[in-house]
Amino acid sequence: MEHIPEFVNNHLFLVCLFVAVLVMLLWNLFGATLTGVQEVDPVDATLLINKGGGLVVDVRSAEEFAAGHIINALNLPLADMEGRRGELDKYKEKPVIAVCGNGTAAARAARLLRGAGFGSAFALRGGISAWQGANLPLTRVQEQ
C-alpha cells in the first residue's frame, strides 16, 4: 500500500487515463438512472407499443431512418426535436419511446420529452442495434 503514491506519481498519465475510463464506464452503466431517463429493452418496448398504444420516435437522420426503422415509427431527428415537438402533443398521455442507433441520442430525446411534459417518455436501451439483436422486424422506406 505504501507504493501506491509512488506509482501514481511515476505514472500520472496512466492513472488519469484509468480514472477517465472508469468514470465513462460508470456513466455508461448508471448515467440513464442518474439523469432520470427510463430505459426499456426491446421486449418491453413492444409491450408499450402493442398494449399501451405507444409511439416510437426515431431520432436518427432521414437517411438512417430510410435504411431501416421500427414499423409505424415517426422520424423526428434530435436536431429538429425542439421545433417539431408540437407534432407529438397528442401523445402526451401515451408512452413515447425514443430510438436511435445505439441508445445515446434516444436518452437525450427522452430527457427533452420528459422536460416538455411527456410523463411516459422512454429510451430504447441499445437502440436499433438492440432491436435487431432481439430479432424484431424493421421496415424500410419504399422508393417511388
- Which residue in the block uniquely carries the three cell numbers 417518455? 121
- At residue 35, the 3 state secondary structure works out as helix
pLDDT of residue 118: 87
What is the reported pLDDT for 60? 95
User: For residue 95, what pLDDT is reported?
Assistant: 93
Does residue 70 share a domain with residue 89? yes
- Considering the domain architecture, whether residues 97 and 54 belong to the same structural domain is answered as yes
Q: What are phi and psi of 32, to 5 degrees?
A: -65, -40
Do both 60 and 47 map to the same domain? yes
Domain of 67 in residue numbering reads as 36-133
Q: Is residue 142 part of a domain?
A: no
Q: What is the pLDDT of residue 52?
A: 86
Q: In terms of pTM, does the model score above 0.85?
A: no
pLDDT at position 132: 93
Are 44 and 113 members of one domain?
A: yes
User: How many Cβ atoms are within 10 Å of 26's Cβ, its own excluded?
Assistant: 11
Same domain for 64 and 120:
yes
Cα dihedral: 90, 94, 99, 103 (round 10): 130
Give a yes or no: residue 140 inside a domain. no
Res 82: pLDDT = 83
Q: Is 16 a catalytic residue?
A: no
pLDDT of residue 144: 45
At 18 the pLDDT is 93
Catalytic residue chosen out of the listed positions 81, 88, 100, 123 = 100
Low-confidence ranges of the chain (pLDDT < 70): 28, 31-36, 142-144
What is residue 142's predicted lDDT score, i.e. its pLDDT? 64
Domain of 92: which CATH number?
A: 3.40.250.10
What are the grid coordinates assigned to 113, written together? 420529452
